[in-house]
Amino acid sequence: MVTCSMCGWLSAAVQPEEPATCVTVTGSTFFDFDILFYTLNILQYEVTDRRNAMNHITHQRILVEGFFSIISNRSESIDMEFVDERVSFPRLEEDTLAYWAQIDAFQTSLKMSEGKPEFSFYDGPPFATGLPHYGHLLAGTIKDTVTRYAHQKGFHVTRRFGWDCHGLPIEFEIEKKLGIKTRDEILKMGIPEYNKACRGIVMQFSSEWERTVTRLGRWIDFQNDYKTLNLSFMESVWNVFSEVHKKGFLYRGFKVMPYSTGCSTPLSNFEANLAYRDTTDPAVVVSFPLEDEPGVSFVAWTTTPWTLPSNLALCVNPTLDYVKAKDKKTGEVYIICEKRTSEIWKTADLFTVEAKFKGTDLAGKKYKPLFPYFQSESARAFRVCVDKYVTDSSGTGIVHQAPAFGEDDYRVCLNHGVIVKGENIPCPVDEMGRFTDVVTDFAGKYVKAADDEICAKLKAEKRLVKKSNLVHSYPFCWRSDTPLIYKAVPSWFIAVEKVREELVANNKQTRWVPQNVSDLRFHNWLAEAKDWAVSRSRFWGTPIPIWLSEDKEEMIVIGSVKELEELSGGLALTGGGTLKRVEEVFDCWFESGSMPYAQIHYPFENQELFEKSFPADFIAEGIDQTRGWFYTLLVLSTILHKRPPFKNVVVNGLVLAEDGKKMSKRLKNYPDPNDVIKKYGADALRLYLINSPVVRAENLRFKESGVEGILKDVFLPWFHSFRFFAEAVRKYKKFTPNAKLAMSSQNVMDKWILAAVNELIVFVRKEMDLYHLDAVLPKLVRFIEQLTNWYLKFNRDRLKGLVSEDDTNISLSTLFEVLLTLTKLMAPVTPFLTEFFYQRLRVLLPEGERKDSVHYLDYPTVTEEALNPRIMEQVANMQSVILLGRTARERRTKPQSFPLTRVTSINSNPQFQADIESLKEYILEQLNVKELVLSSDSELVVNIARPDNKKLGARLGKSFKKVSDAIKTLTDEQIRSFQSEGSIVVEGQTISGDELFVIKEFKGDTTLQEPAWDSNALIVLDLTEDVKLQEERMVRRVINFIQRLRKRSGVLPEDHIEVFYRVEEGDPLCRVMEEERGGIVKRTGVPCSPLRLKNSTATVIASEDNEVDASKIYLEITVATLGFDDEELAKLGLEAEFLGHVKNYFTTREYGRVVDELNREGKLHVKMNGVD
C-alpha cells in the first residue's frame, strides 16, 4: 500500500523493481493503466472512492512518463471530461472562483467590452460597520443578474462598489467603544481625535464584505471602489450643495424633526421610521380654565406630559360638535368633543350637557396657562386655534399645542400667529433631552423621566383630570435605542416643496418594477414631500461648506477645494470681521443622493463620462429606500438637472425569518448566510432569492428548505442531464457538434426542443429587457424540467447510439445546442454552475470559437427558423395524454412497469387527435401500452362548466354567487355552444372564454377502465391483463434490476462489462429470459448471458438476488474479458511460453480497444521478441 505523491490517494499499486502486469513489446516497456484501474484500484476499494482512483491513475500516467512507453494506437483521447455523478455544488463553486481569479475573469470581461455602448449602473453604498445580511445578498443578486445580462448583451458595464463612511452608524460604534455618553465628552476629547477614531473603524468589516460578495458570485470592482470620506467625493458633494444654493433652494430655519436625545441630533423621517416598538406611556387629561368664564375648563388629552410646560395654545376641529358638560359628582364643568365624553365619564348618566356648539365657535377663546414659564407670550398665546388635523377618534377632541415639539403644533401655531416665522420659539429642552433652566421646577431632568413629576405637580394644582397608561407604537432611535422626541431645531433646508410637481412628473419617466411601488407608495410620498433638513449637529461627516457672519446676514457657500483655498484668510465681511463656517455636517443621505456625481468626482473630472452615463440605466435596492436613497437621488437630480436620475429601478421586498418576524441575531431565528452558502452553494441561494415574491417588492419568509429544494428540483436534474450528455459523448467518442445538422433534423422531439429553447430566448430577452426577473426564472426552471423529463427521456436510445450513427450525431448535436444555449441563458443568474458546464462543453467547439469563460459570451439570439408553434402545440397535446395516462395509472395503482393493452383518447378536436396519432410511438412507450385508440364518441363524454372564481368574482362582485351557481348547471349543449361561440350569457351577464373553463367527464364503465381528463383532453386506460403482458412486465423488471445494479456498482457507461444471470430450470422466467435476451441487451447496452457461460477468469464487480413475481433471479456484473481458444492457438505452432506471453499481453489491454481493433482489422497483430 502506497500513497500517491501527487494526488495523495492511497493506492494498492505494486511498486516492485519490475512492475507487475508489464511486458516487453517491441523493445519497449508497456504498462496498461486501464486494466490496472480495475485490477489494482477499483476492485480493492469501495466504489465510492472511484473518482479519487481515477484522479490517481491520471497522476500515475504523468509520473511514469518517460519510463513507460504507451503504444500510439492505444492513446486515443476522449475530449469530454469525466463528470462524476456525485457533485458538491459548493466545492464546484470554490473551484470556479479559483479559475476566475486565475484568468482575472471580471477585469478581463471589462477590457473585452471597452468601446461598446455604456450601460450605467449605480450601486448604493452600504455601511461597513456591520456584516452583510440576506437583504444585501438579495439586492446584490438582482444587481449582478441584471449587469451580467447587460454585459452579455453587448454593453460595457462599469460596476464599482461603494462605502457609506459617515453618519450616525460610525459615531454610534465609536461612542459605544469609547464609553462616550454626551456631546460634552466629545468636545472634551477633541473633534480631531474623535474623527480620527471614527476613521479608524470605517472599513473594519470591508474584508468580510468583499469575501461574502465575491463568494456570492457577484462581479463588482472593490479595488476601484468609492468612499464617501474621500476628498474627491466630498468635493463633489460641496459642488452639488453649492449648485442647490445658486438655484435658490437653500434656506435656514426651524423645523420640528424627529430628534435623538441619545445621539444629540435630528434624524430624517426615514431614520425615524426604522425602529418603532410598543411602549407604555402616561395618558393624561388636563384642564385649561377659561379666562372669561370662571368654573369652566377646556380638557385636552396627551401622551407626552413633558411637553405641557411648553404649551402655548389649544386646537379644536372647526366642524366637530363640542359640549359644555357638568360632572354630577364633582360639579366641574368641562368643554369636550361630544363624541369623546367617554374619555372622562364611562356612562352618560354621570354628567349633564349645559350647552352645545361647533368647533369654530371656540376659536380665539383664551385660557389660563398651565405653567408660568412662558407667560411673557400671553399677548399671542394661550388661546384656541382651529384645524382639521384634530379628530374625534381618540382623546378629547382638543389637542394641546407645544410648537417646539410637534410638526402639526408648529404649523398650527404659525398659521394662527401664536409664533412668528424666523423668531425663536419656546424650546426649553437641550441637545441631551434635558429641561433648561427656563423650566425652573424640572431643570436638568431628562424630559421622559420628568413625566411623573409633571403629573404630580398638575395634580397638586388640581389641573390633572385623569391619568392612565397607554401601550402604543412609538419611534426609537435606530442606533442609540432611546425614545425619539420631536423637537424644533435650527437646520439648513432644501426647499423640496417647491418642486413637488416636478418630482412627480420625473418619477413617471422611470420604469419601476413592480410598478405599483411607484404609483402608490413613492407617488404619495413625492406628492406630500416636505422640505429636506440636510444638516446634522454631529462631528463625523462631510462639513457643510457655509461660512456665516456672526449676525447671519452674510453667507458664502463654497463649492470646491480650490475656491476654499482662494478664499482662505479672506473670508471677511464687507463691513469688517470674519466669516466662520457653520458647525454642522451633512446628513449622510445627502451624500448618498450625490453619489452619481461624487463617485466620479464630477464636475471636476469625467464630464464626458457623466454625460454619457447619466441618468443611470438601472439601480436596485429594497423597498425601504423609497423614502431613502431613491428619494434623495430624485430630489437632487430634479433640482440640478430637471430629469430623473435613473431609467429603471427594481425594488425588492424584505427578507424575514421563517416565522415571519424580522431576522434577529439575538433571537437566532435564521441561518447564517455563509453557512447556507457553504452547505448548498451560492447559485442555489441566488436562484431561491430571485425566484421568489421578494423581487416583486413583497416580503419573503426565508426557508433553508427552499434553498435545498433548488438543488433537488432544479440543479440536480439539470446536472444529470448534462452528465448524461457527457457520458454519451465519452462513450461515442466520434462526436463533433454540428448546429446545421441539428437544425436539419426531422425528428419531432429534436424540432420541439429547438423550438422550445428559441421560444425561451424570445421570452427571456423580452422580460429581462423589462426587468421582470420574477417572470423569467419560472420559465427557465420550467424549461429545465421539459429538457430532463421529456426530451432526454424520449431520446435515450438515440443519444446512446442504439439507433444509428446518423441519428446519434443529430440527437447529440441537438442536445449540445440546447445545453449550450441554456448555459448562456442561465449564466447571469447561476454564474458558477453555468461556468462548470461551459468549461466542459467548450472542448467540443472549434478552437476559434472557444472563450475562456461563459461570461465572455454574447447572450443567445433567436434562430427564427427554429421557431415552430405547430410542433409546440403537437408535443403539448402528446404531453397532456401522457400526463393523464400517468394519473390514471396512479389512481389504480398500476406502476409504469405494468404493460397495459390500450389507451383511448376521446376528443372531438380532429387536430388534437391527429397530433397524438403522429406521436403515438412516444405515447405507447411512455405509458407502456400496446395500442392507442382515437375516438370522438360524444356519448362517452359530458362537458362540465366551472367559473374562474378569481376573475369573475373581481368583475361581478355581489352578483358573482348567482352567476357562479348558474354556470355550474349549464347543459352539455350550452357548453358546446359556448366553446364554438367563445361567450355565453348567464343570468344577464356575458361570460367570455377566459372567465370559465370546461372539463370533460367520462360516462362509460370504469370496472376495467380508468379515465382521466383536463380542460383539453380525456383519455381512458384499459386495465385488462393477459399472459403476454405479464411476460413483458417481467422483462421490464429484470431490466430495472440490471440498471439498478449497474448504478450501485459505480461502473461508467464507457466501462466494458457483462451481465450474467441464473434462473432455476423450469421457472417461467427462464423461458422468458431466453426469448427476450436480445431485447434486454438492446435496452441495457451490455451483453447478458446465463451464468454458466461466464469466463472463469472474469472479475465480479457486483451481484444480487431479486424476485420477479414468484420467480427468483440472480444477477452478476463482471469486467468484460477476452477468452482464448487454445486449440486454435496451438495450430499456430508457437511455443507454449510464447503463447502465454501473448495471452498475457492481450488480457492486460483494455477490452474495448482490443474488440475495436478486432472488429476493424479482422485480426489482432503483435510483434514480440522478434516474432511477428
Residue written as grid cell 354567487: 961
- Do the Cβ atoms of 923 and 794 come closer than 8 Å? no
Calpha distance 1074→876 (Å, rounded) = 39
Residue written as grid cell 444477477: 1115
Cis peptide before 615, with omega less than 30 degrees from 0?
A: yes
Calpha distance 254→250 (Å, rounded) = 13
Query: Residue ranges of the alpha helices (H) in 892-1017?
Result: 910-918, 920-927, 949-956, 960-967, 972-981
164 annotated active-site: yes
Please pick, among 625, 874, 879, 913, the residue that the annotation labels catalytic: 625
625 annotated active-site: yes
- Do the Cβ atoms of 672 and 628 come closer than 8 Å? no
Cell numbers placing 1006: 370504469
Percentage helix, strand, coil for the chain under 3-state DSSP, each rounded to 5: 45, 20, 35
Burial class (CB in 10 A: 0-12, 13-18, 19+), 871: buried
In b/e form, how buried is each residue of 171-197, taking b as 16+ CB within 10 angstroms? bbbbbeeeebeebeebeeeeeeebbeb
Calpha distance 136→134 (Å, rounded) = 5
Cell numbers placing 528: 406630500
Calpha distance 1019→885 (Å, rounded) = 7
589 annotated active-site: yes
Residue 946 Cα distances to 407, 824, 973, 993, angstroms: 56, 42, 15, 12
125 annotated active-site: yes
SS3 534: coil
- Output the DSSP codes for 1067-1105: -HHHHHHHHHHHHHHHHHSS-EEEGGG--TTPPEEEEEE
In b/e form, how buried is each residue of 322-359, taking b as 16+ CB within 10 angstroms? bbbbbeeeeebbbbbbeebbebbbeeeeebeeeeeeeb
Please pick, among 181, 665, 734, 968, the residue that the annotation labels catalytic: 665
Amino acid in position 960: F
Please pick, among 176, 508, 661, 662, the residue that the annotation labels catalytic: 662
SS3 174: helix
Q: Which regions of 8-73 does DSSP assign to beta strands (E)?
A: 10-11, 22-25, 28-31
Calpha distance 163→157 (Å, rounded) = 19
Calpha distance 259→304 (Å, rounded) = 15
Calpha distance 451→467 (Å, rounded) = 11
- Do the Cβ atoms of 132 and 673 come closer than 8 Å? yes
Calpha distance 733→808 (Å, rounded) = 11
Please pick, among 164, 387, 409, 451, the residue that the annotation labels catalytic: 164
Task: Give the distance from CA 510 to its chain's centroid.
Answer: 23
662 annotated active-site: yes
1000 annotated active-site: no
User: In whole angstroms, how large is the CA radius of gyration of the chain?
Assistant: 41
Please pick, among 9, 32, 100, 125, the residue that the annotation labels catalytic: 125
Cell numbers placing 350: 354621570
- The helix (H) or strand (E) run that includes residue 944 is strand 941-947
Region of residue 651 (left: phi > 0; alpha: psi -120 to 50; beta: else)? beta
Looking from the CA of 909 toward its CB, the CA atoms found within 13 Å total: 14
Looking at the DSSP assignment, which residues form a beta bridge with residue 648? 511
Q: Which residues are catalytic?
A: 125, 164, 589, 625, 629, 662, 665
